[in-house]
Structure 1
Amino acid sequence: MTSPTARERRRFIFDDYSLEEVPTTERYGLYNLFLTLSASFGAIAVLFAGGVLGGGLNFVDSTIAVLTGGTTALAIIGALSGAIGAYSGLSTYVGWRFPFGRVGGKVLGLALITITTGIGWFAVESWFFGVVMSEIFPHNPFFSVWAAALWGGALMILSTYIGYKALSFLSYLILPQHVWLIAVGLLLAVSLHGGWGAVLTATPKSHMTLAQAITDTVGLYIAGSLIAPDITRFAKRAKDAVTAWTLHMYVFYPFLILGAVAIVLLTGNVIITEDMLKLGMGIGVLLIIVLGQWIINTVNLYSGSLSFTNAIPMRRDYASIIVGVIGTLLAAYWGYTAGASLTPFEGFISLLGSLLPAAGGSVFAEFYIVRRYFDGIKDPYQRFKLEPGKEYPEINLVGILSFAAGAVAGFFVPGIAAINAILVAFTMHIVLAYVFKRANIRYEIGKYAYRGGVVK
């Protein structure tokens, strides 16, 4: 791929190559990827998940659930997904054009990411940011729930507007302070509550099965694992993307979640931030919440803006403003009404989000099996390659049908829903592609000529 001219780079500075391959001159190495992935996907949500585990399992069982169950499954899924992003240089949703077709990829991306993550969870997290700020600074109009949701959402929109460079910068700032704060909290809890032996002998207040713990740890991170290409498309090499994600899952993720488990077991309160406040870490908790929410919601909106741009072609930075403003206004409305229940809305976006693993199974099958063995494309850099002037399908029936089968399995087959959905969609995609090709049945409908990814 040829290097972009100075003029082209200026055009892309905020669009972040939303509809085309990231050029090699704009790629980053292993260290940058590790920090960005870890800070983007591993902040406050992981701490609260550790609190839930510590409330239902002892430390040994929690370690088993995290390391041998959830972490291993997520490391594999994220590595496979991240490698696709690095090989193709495409965002998750542009890459979906291959297994689902352009129209199929647009519809699925809009429903599963723009609505759920870009608008839905961005609104929920912005609202939660407002709630926390109002609790820390009560009786101050600037920090009321609706006001804090507004200016907090605006800050997150600004970060997303800038793009990957802002995520990278925030990661260098946020990741070290998370590690330091959890380490301090853990050492304080251990020193004040009986030492390391007390961690191993502490019993939780309630009961959770090991299977449920593994299911929860997988569910916590499955979305991040499957949209990893939004970040790893900036990797210089696929090896860097795989290594960065694997290190993140086996080093940073266990440290955060098991550190939270230990603190909860020692203090007896499953709300990890409350535990840290009781340990005298007031400023530390504030930093975790503010900076953690900031980067997590920036990633939510970043992925949502990429999906929105794929569905409705426009510059990604403009898309981030549109999607972010909608989410911020929702958050401010909830804060202003002070009592409106988010439960129905959270249930709706959780329902849509639970369909994402089925899409991931179809993507894996198309890239690693169908393109490699059925179509004979041995070079992984060419399997999801969009070339200007070349025609591609509008709809891929194999992908749509396999996605539907995976979604049904995720809802109705006993076990870990996300894993069931991925495996069924993966298997069905391979079987259907093989049968249709052998029977010479056309399963790609409609054609469009790719014109390049520049959006003015």
Structure 2
Amino acid sequence: MTSVTEKPVTGSKAEDFPLSPVPESARKSMISLAPILAGFTLYSGTLFAGGLVGPSFQFWPDLVGIILLGNLILGLYAAFLGYIAGETGLTTVLMARFSFGSVGSRWVDFILGFTQIGWYAWGSALMAQLLNNLAGVPESWNWFIILFFTYGFCSTAYFGYKAMDWLSRIAVPAMVVLMVWSLSIAAGDVGGFAGLQAAELGDPLPLSAAITIIVGTFVSGGTQATNWSRFAKSGKAGFIATLIAFFLGNGFLIFSGAFCAKVYGEPDIVQVMATQGLLIWGLILFFFNMWTTQDNTIYAFSIAGSNMFRTNKRTLLVLGGATFALVLAWGGIYEMLVQYLILLGTFIPPIGGIIMADYWINRRGTFPAVSEPQPAFNWAGVIAYVAASAIAYFTNQIGWGIVPINGILSALVIYTVLTQVMPTTQSQS
């Protein structure tokens, strides 16, 4: 294991080492890691992304192939970062100190933290929408529903890894069983494989846009999956646990949303279960679905915030982030999903590309100690990020290639070249 040694931070166990490597004594097994990561990816927003893609393609081989390719890209991207996290015990935002500099890494903190807050706010608003539509709760109660679930879902994140672990061990198997049950009914309703193949296609969607939407659903989460894979006992364990969650877990949700959209014209499996006469089970599924992702999401924000403000008080940031998300949810973020997914798929992946290049190519598979002073800005990282993001944005505008891959590969190549030609900046505290 390539460890980054630093004296662990003392204090409440619930703080979960936000500014230091996870010590060997706190590392977890694959049985513990995989459900947490899978619970993170089993998110209702991903169903809607699948619903955007599904109607535009024939089920086999087009749609299945696109889902496999998109989630393989996402899974490998997250898994390679998971390997680095397992080897070093570091989160992405701590790795970014080396790749972007002590001050420059605060941009990474901001963009990763803000995107997680956006997801968290969207999820709280989705709870209100569901209860309006399925349970008949008046919309005048939405402010209270959003308030209740915004703070309720962050409870396990507040108490840290152990609480999230136990929730995921119960919720993830239950969700998988309920979703398979519903999908099997849907397959019968549509007439099996022949019915799926004969389903009328919706408005055409460019292949590059479809892949970008699939990757964009959880590329921000994948970039921050290190918040949990850093607890792995080795880099290999971190890689495998993350790949299982993001390729299989996220892929299953994308497939489910696409499948339901083709059969019922509705990507939300909870709405579908209500149509199938399984309303109570659908509500249970949705509750678990939201909780296991929302707590991971606000936990990720708290880790990014801890690095930005250089504070160990992660639990206070959980509450502060939830409050900020509450304001966004009350402000109507629910209507902005598609634009948000494209944004994530364009501007987040270059961060991971730079960190991978820094770890494997520039530093030959090791990082300095977190306590070692770093330059305020690693200009190679900053310039590479701006250039790669511009490339990703431009290729998205002209519909060329797969936008997240464009961003990752551009960042990796540009950073590698710049580190060879730019002088090394003197370290600062």
CA contact (8 A) 1:57 1:203 kept: no
Structure 1 residue aligned with 2:373, among 391, 394, 397? 391
In the other structure, the counterpart of 2:146 is: 149
Residue 64 of structure 2 aligns with which residue? 63
In the aligned structure 1, how far is the partner of 2:333 from the partner of 2:14? Answer: 36
For residues 4-55 of structure 1, what are the alpha-carbon distances to aligned partners after superposition, in whole Å with 9 as ceiling and x for unaligned? 99xx797241111000000111111122222111111133233223322322
Task: Name the structure 2 match of 1:451.
Answer: none
Deviations 1:197-256 (CA, angstroms, capped at 9, x unpaired): 323443334433444322322222322222121110011111111112223344444333
For the residue of structure 1 that corresponds to 2:104, the secondary structure is: helix
* 1:426 aligns to 2:412 (yes or no): yes
Larger displacement relative to structure 2 (74-83 or 363-372): 74-83
Q: Which residue of 2 aligns with 1:48?
A: 48
Query: Greater shift after overlay, 223-232 or 301-310?
Result: 223-232
In the alignment, structure 2 segments of 5+ residues that lack a partner are none
Contact 1:44 1:288 (8 Å CA) reproduced? no
Structure 2 SS opposite 1:263: helix
**Shift in Å at residue 282 of structure 1?**
0.5
Looking at structure 2, the residues matched to 324 and 368 of structure 1 have their Cα atoms a distance apart, in angstroms, of 36
Q: Which residue of 1 aligns with 2:227?
A: 230
Do the aligned residues in 1 keep the contact of 2:101 with 2:377 (CA within 8 Å)? Answer: yes
- Do the aligned residues in 1 keep the contact of 2:82 with 2:235 (CA within 8 Å)? yes
* Residue 314 of structure 2: aligned partner: 316
SS of residue matched to 1:427 = helix
Q: 1:115, 1:349 within 8 Å by CA — same for their partners in 2? A: no
Provide the alpha-carbon RMSD of the alignment: 2.8
Written as runs of structure 1 = structure 2, the 5 A alignment for 1:1-400 is: 11-60=11-60, 61-67=62-68, 69-110=69-110, 112-118=111-117, 120-139=118-137, 144-314=141-311, 315-331=313-329, 333-334=330-331, 343=335, 351=343, 354-372=346-364, 380=365, 383-386=366-369, 388=371, 390-400=372-382
Partner deviation per Cα, 1:55-82 (whole Å, 9 max, x = no partner): 2112111111112x21221222112111
Deviations 1:135-189 (A, max 9, x none): 3333569x92110111101112222111222221221122112211111111112
In 1, Cα distance between equivalents of 2:272 and 2:168: 25
Change (3 A) 1:175 1:352: closer
Contact 2:51 2:261 in 1 (8 A): yes
Residue correspondences, number: 421
Instruction: String of CA shifts for 1:365-412, please: whole Å, max 9, x gaps.
Output: 10110001xxxxxxx4xx224254x33222211111111111111111
Deviation at 1:346, TM superposition (A): 8.4
Paired with 2:165 and 2:186, the residues of 1 have a C-alpha distance of 32
TM-score, L = length of structure 1: 0.84
Answer yes or no: is the 8 Å Cα contact 2:50–2:214 preserved in 1: no
Q: Select 1:410's aligned residue among 392, 399, 402.
A: 392
- The answer to whether the 8 A contact 1:90-1:233 is kept is yes
Shift of 1:324: 1.5
Structure 2 Cα separation of the partners of residues 386 and 90 of structure 1: 10
Q: Given the superposition, is the C-alpha separation of residues 428 and 354 from structure 1 closer, same or farther in structure 2, using an over 3 Å criterion?
A: same
Change (3 A) 1:214 1:345: closer
Query: Residues of 2 paired with 1:249 and 1:310: CA distance?
Result: 25
Residues 354, 384 of structure 2: 8 Å contact kept: yes
Alpha-carbon spacing, 1:301–1:255, altered in 2? closer, same or farther (3 Å):
closer
Amino acid at match of 1:182: M
Quick check: 1:51–1:272 contact (8 Å CA) kept in 2? Answer: no
Task: Look up the equivalent residue of 1:393 and give its one-letter code.
Answer: P
Q: Distance in 2 between matches of 1:311 and 1:114?
A: 9
Deviations 1:87-142 (A, max 9, x none): 111111111101011111123312x0222213x3322221222222233333569x
Distance 1:3 1:365 in 2: 21
Instruction: Say if 1:133 and 1:144, in contact at 8 Å, map to a contact too.
Output: no
**1:376 matched residue in structure 2:** none
Supply the distance in 2 between the matched residues of 1:349 and 1:54 (Cα, whole angstroms).
16
Q: How far apart, in 1, do the equivalents of 2:209 and 2:141 lie?
A: 37
Judge which range, 101-110 or 191-200, deviates more: 191-200
TM-score (normalised: structure 2): 0.89
Name structure 1 gaps, 5 residues minimum.
Answer: 335-339, 373-379, 449-456
Determine the structure 2 residue equivalent to 1:375.
Answer: none
8 Å CA contact 2:222, 2:246 repeated in 1? no
Contact kept? 2:353, 2:409, Cα under 8 Å:
yes
Counterpart residue identity of residue 394, structure 1:
A
In 2: Cα distance, 1:114 partner to 1:256 partner: 23
Write the distance in 2 (CA, Å) between the matches of 1:359 and 1:304.
Answer: 16
Task: Give 2:115's aligned amino acid.
Answer: T
